[in-house]
Structure 1
Amino acid sequence: MTQNTNNLAAFIWSLADLLRGDFKQSQYGRIILPFTLLRRLEGVLEDRKEAVLAQVETVQAMNLPEEAQEKLLLRATGGLSFFNTSKMDLSKLGEKDIAANLESYIQCFSKDAREIFEHFKFVEFIGQLNDANLLYKIVQKVRQTDLSPKAISNHEMGLVFEELIRRFAESSNETAGEHFTPRDIVRLTTSLVFMEDDDALTKDGIIRTIYDPTAGTGGFLSSGMEYVFELNPQAVIRAFGQELNPESYAICKADMLIKGQEVKNIKLGNTLSNDQLYADKFDYMLSNPPFGVDWKKIEADIKDEHTLKGFDGRFGAGLPRVSDGSLLFLLHLISKCRDTADGGARIGIILNGSPLFTGGAGSGESEIRRYILETDLLEAIVALPTDMFYNTGISTYVWILSNKKARERKGKVQLINAVNLCGKMRKSLGSKRNEMDETDIAMVTRAFGDFTAIEARELDKPAEQKSNRGRQSANPKAEVVKTFASKIFNTYEFGYR
């Protein structure tokens, strides 16, 4: 992130100074993000606004359904995916009737854009801001920020929006883990998934798809696009995702709209019971599904698909116990892989220890692991440090899978022990006390890229600080040396025959 974009994000987030006292800290983002989106949309539409307004009366007189009207009005935007039919903008809302005028302005957006504000419950916050005599002040401050494409590109605006999302995550860290994957984990996983294709991604005319079935606020989708953009600014990356939580869905959709993506590719709903992208296959997939969440509510749907469709569905390999649906998401991703004949696919998914260790021989979990190994999809598993996530301190792992393994990786699985590759944060965010810096991430990606065994290598990391409180042992344990290692195994060594 450049200094300019960082400064812009800090300026926008300073709206929180006006909110302090009247709103909870965890609500700041719910106000700041939609206002930022509104200002950006306004700037993007500025040059085409008159052209759209000139068509409104003609199109409305046709008495067509909303969808048909939208198609006609979109033609006047010159290739944009949204429009607004109001003669107002933030500079024309006035002070006396500002709440009603702002609500009317929002309602004049095309359906996809309007839906984002609805999921933010923006109208409710407009009312609360008005009651607190803050709405006019907020609007005036937002107006001061030029977020038009002439002032800030789509890529830079995406970085600003991501920084605002990160600040929102920090300000609401008691629930952040449900919706936000920490940025260091996102960077690591994205690098591991994309790095094998670096050469291909630098070619002219590249078009690739990226998918996250548990999209949250869109962190993985944004990171994937950013990775490819840095390699090849001319590459076209099309983002797809589905998210269960309406607010996270709204943030993700807003982020994709700001980046110029087709927001109709971001869906709301339960991916496992209602896959709204069921016919699509993808090049790259990234996911951080919820840890240890049961699937009782959708048990009938999942079991029906397993029984009736078998391997023609997503869950033919087996079903895990109802108390943890992590492996269902993994099977779902495998089913979404583009065929090898069409270029194949790569997957990066973050899981806890349960999918690795739960279930004896013959269990659903064991059969799923057998299927993954026998089809030679698993490339590597990276063991992460503990205390890396906002809402849990448990051990976690990054699984990398692919149906287009390089020749030297066929029949092999790489295990990387990166549990000590982290440093303490100056200030904890919920359960997140550790973070991986660029050097730590580079060590993992280098080990993965080199695909060689590394014997336990001592790390230059400070020892854990021992507490001085309570009774101290007369014979304290010797400090354990922190190490990093990588091992390579044949798939048959995991015990399946």
Structure 2
Amino acid sequence: MNQENLASFIWGVADLLRGTLKQSQYGRVILPFTLLRRLECVLEPTRDRVLEKAKAYHDKSAAMRDRILRNEADLQFYNTSPLRLATVSETHTREDLNDYVRHFSPAAREVFEHFRFEEFLERLEHGDALYPVVQRFAAIDLSPQRLDNFSMGVVFEELIRKFAEASNETAGEHFTPRDVVHLTTSLVFTGQQERLRPGEIIKVYDPAAGTGGFLSEAQSYIQQISEGVDVSLHGQELNPESYAICKADMLIKSEPVDNITLGNTLSDDQHEGERFDYLLANPPFGVDWKGSQRAVNEEHEQRGYAGRFGPGLPRVNDGALLFLLHLVSKMRQDQSSQWPSRIGIILNGSPLFTGGAGSGESEIRRYLLERDFVDAIVALPTDMFYNTGIATYVWILSNAKPEERKYHVQLINATKYYSKMRKSLGNKRQYLDEEAIKAIVQLYGCYDENEESRIFPVETFGYRRITVERPLRLNFQASEERIARITEQKPIQKLGEEQQQAILDACRQLDGALCQDREAFKQQLDTALQRQGVKLKASEHKAVLAALSERDPEAPVCRDNRGRAEPDPELRDAENVPLTESVDDYFAREVQPHVPDAWIDTSKKDPLDGEVGIVGYEIPFNRYFYKYEPPRPLEEIDADLRECTDRIKRMIEELSA
């Protein structure tokens, strides 16, 4: 039975839960029971020896007894109860199960607390479903001899997916498909053979650990290269059930469980000050960070670049770039080191281009690119994830790139490297087989330019947004139509009715002729207002002039009291000048031939380099791989239409015959 079938078989326990629990709650029983059975099977070989030691050392201190029993179990956890699922009594099922779980070592016991296990046992007992559920799980073989840790992880993930679908949760927030995990890990560890030598200590970190897929894959990958490497796994997870499964996985693999923490990574970094060699993550796509907004804003404003979010903050509806900044802050800071830190993170398309020059997103991209952190970006096929079919990308970052890659970014279009799944899993309809993963990794490792791999200098993605102004040209007229617009102006609406009427009466004293000279018209207007005894504030006077004016391309340029041309806000435009070009040359070539009276607003300068224009960065990935396909000849289209029309006619004739 493969992992998918086994997961479906386990999920079949749901048949016993109908009428006792809501469908959305099935996973809260099935997941912890699956974990309990897995832990039980893992402990089975040393079970009797542990029980003997527990009796022999019952009078020792808790710390000494814990150390002895973990050593005897040859794991990071143990259980001192003589019970097993198969021996739980039918008459005292709930009491036996609670006692059984309480005899686990503290770290393992905490796993079941996060599932609120005791609460759901009581509900199952009241529905007369508890003992049948125990019997069903007692008969399932989840021993390591049958399922290694990787296979067990796949089973867990499939169960979580079913749970998420049943409860209308977002499955992709909890785990990443294993094929995508394998690809990302392979890309991050490409060319790292020298780093992964026997005796080296490697720290791996995932800030959105889910069920621990990235951590397990990284450990497995490293150990395939060199068994003598000491791999230390670290992670943080927000979802309690996912955290519980990840922690159980660490227990089974005898990894230190204290390195896996529960909490919100953005607002409560529980690995503060730590640095890691390899960092892997798949943060949730398009999920807002409102819940962390206060803490993130405070860190950004108070700590600046000494904190995690110094470069800027993205809009609150998508926190993906915050996770990326968080990962960068966890890289080893000594960039002169022979062994840099490397990051592999999966993001949607938004971080590539969302936000114009000066926005939080653009400033984050600027920080990453100008400091040469971004190594490569790989476009994945669509329909790769359980909860979404959108386009996704793997970003590879390093804080000390090889010489040939310095200040360049490799873009890889891997959207055609997929195989169709025989049966869709949620929105996942495609997957990466071993050949596809190998081909993508080769594209990255070879570092050549071809149809699927392009290499660009960092400045290719940068531009300066300059503001292009054109002069204000107006005509003025005291016509009834324009006079009627005066009372629509907000500053005038704040005045009393008597004063408003006085303004209208003053304007009606003007001769009504069209005037293209603003200064001459202002003098006429001021004279009329004085005759009417009306005194206006500057804002009110401006509002009256605005109502009586209309844009006129033939009118003279309006100038301020220094004789400078006034810009027309309605004609204001912005141009993005590539960083590889001179602003003046670009303006002379692209703007002035079309609008000779335009000029650049030189007052708007970039706050970092002081030059004219605000610097922005974006990575228009698809543009670099776009291939023009000419439309079919009209003759072919006409032939298809005629064939379609004839076929419809024949069908109608057959129906009417």
Give the TM interval when normalised to the shorter protein: 0.7 to 0.9
Deviation at 1:378, TM superposition (A): 0.6
1:136-175 matches, cutoff 5 A: 136-144=131-139, 151=145, 157-172=148-163, 173=165, 175=169
Show CA shifts across 1:48-68 (max 9, x none): 232133333443xxxxxxxxx
**Contact conserved, 1:210 with 1:224, CA < 8 A, in 2?**
yes
1:476 maps to none
Q: Does 1:283 align with 2:250?
A: no
Deviation at 1:362, TM superposition (A): 1.3
Residue from 81, 88, 91 that aligns with 1:93:
88
1:112 to 1:335, Cα distance in 2 relative to 1, 3 A: same
After TM superposition, the structure 1 stretch with the greater mean CA deviation from structure 2, 304-313 or 334-343, is 334-343
1:317 to 1:443, Cα distance in 2 relative to 1, 3 A: same
1:216-227 matches, cutoff 5 A: 216-227=210-221
1:462 maps to none
**Contact conserved, 2:3 with 2:154, CA < 8 A, in 1?**
no
- Separation of aligned partners in 1, 2:230 and 2:389: 37
Residue from 371, 375, 379 that aligns with 1:379:
375
1:363 maps to 359
Q: Does 1:117 align with 2:112?
A: yes
**Contact conserved, 1:204 with 1:234, CA < 8 A, in 2?**
yes
- Separation of aligned partners in 2, 1:346 and 1:489: 20
Give the total of aligned pairs: 449
1:76 to 1:177, Cα distance in 2 relative to 1, 3 A: closer
1:370 to 1:244, Cα distance in 2 relative to 1, 3 A: same
- Separation of aligned partners in 1, 2:65 and 2:274: 27
Aligned CA RMSD, in angstroms, stands at 2.6
1:413 maps to 409
- Separation of aligned partners in 1, 2:83 and 2:63: 19
- Separation of aligned partners in 1, 2:5 and 2:426: 22
1:89 to 1:313, Cα distance in 2 relative to 1, 3 A: same
Q: Does 1:230 align with 2:197?
A: no
SS at match of 1:349: strand
Q: Does 1:311 align with 2:305?
A: yes
- Separation of aligned partners in 1, 2:316 and 2:81: 50
1:41 maps to 39
1:134 to 1:74, Cα distance in 2 relative to 1, 3 A: farther
Letter in 1 for 2:152: F
2:525 maps to none
Show CA shifts across 1:277-322 (max 9, x none): 1121111111111112222222221111112111111111111122
1:427 to 1:88, Cα distance in 2 relative to 1, 3 A: closer
Residue from 290, 295, 305 that aligns with 1:296:
290
Letter in 1 for 2:149: G
- Separation of aligned partners in 1, 2:137 and 2:392: 40
Which has the higher Rg, Structure 1 or Structure 2? 2
**Contact conserved, 1:29 with 1:165, CA < 8 A, in 2?**
no
2:199 maps to 205
TM-score normalised by L of structure 1:
0.83
Q: Does 1:259 align with 2:257?
A: no
Show CA shifts across 1:83-129 (max 9, x none): 33434343543221121111122122222111101112222343344
Over the matched positions of the two proteins, sequence identity in percent amounts to: 52
1:328 to 1:170, Cα distance in 2 relative to 1, 3 A: closer
- Separation of aligned partners in 1, 2:101 and 2:124: 16
- Separation of aligned partners in 1, 2:35 and 2:55: 21
1:190 maps to 185
- Separation of aligned partners in 2, 1:33 and 1:113: 14
**Contact conserved, 1:384 with 1:419, CA < 8 A, in 2?**
yes
Residue from 338, 344, 351 that aligns with 2:347:
351
Deviation at 1:36, TM superposition (A): 4.0
Show CA shifts across 1:434-475 (max 9, x none): 2222222222111001011112xxxxxxxxxxxxxxxxxxxx
Instruction: Indicate the structure whose relative CO is greater, using CA pairs within 8 Å and at least 6 residues apart.
Output: 1
SS at match of 1:227: helix
Deviation at 1:32, TM superposition (A): 4.3
Letter in 2 for 1:314: R
1:350 to 1:9, Cα distance in 2 relative to 1, 3 A: closer
TM-score normalised by L of structure 2:
0.64
Letter in 2 for 1:77: R
Letter in 2 for 1:108: H
Q: Does 1:243 align with 2:234?
A: no
- Separation of aligned partners in 1, 2:75 and 2:404: 45
Show CA shifts across 1:301-352 (max 9, x none): 1111112111111111111122211111000000001234373211011111
**Contact conserved, 1:216 with 1:248, CA < 8 A, in 2?**
yes
- Separation of aligned partners in 1, 2:143 and 2:67: 19
Show CA shifts across 1:34-86 (max 9, x none): 33433443443513232133333443xxxxxxxxx346523343264333343
Letter in 1 for 2:94: A
SS at match of 1:250: helix
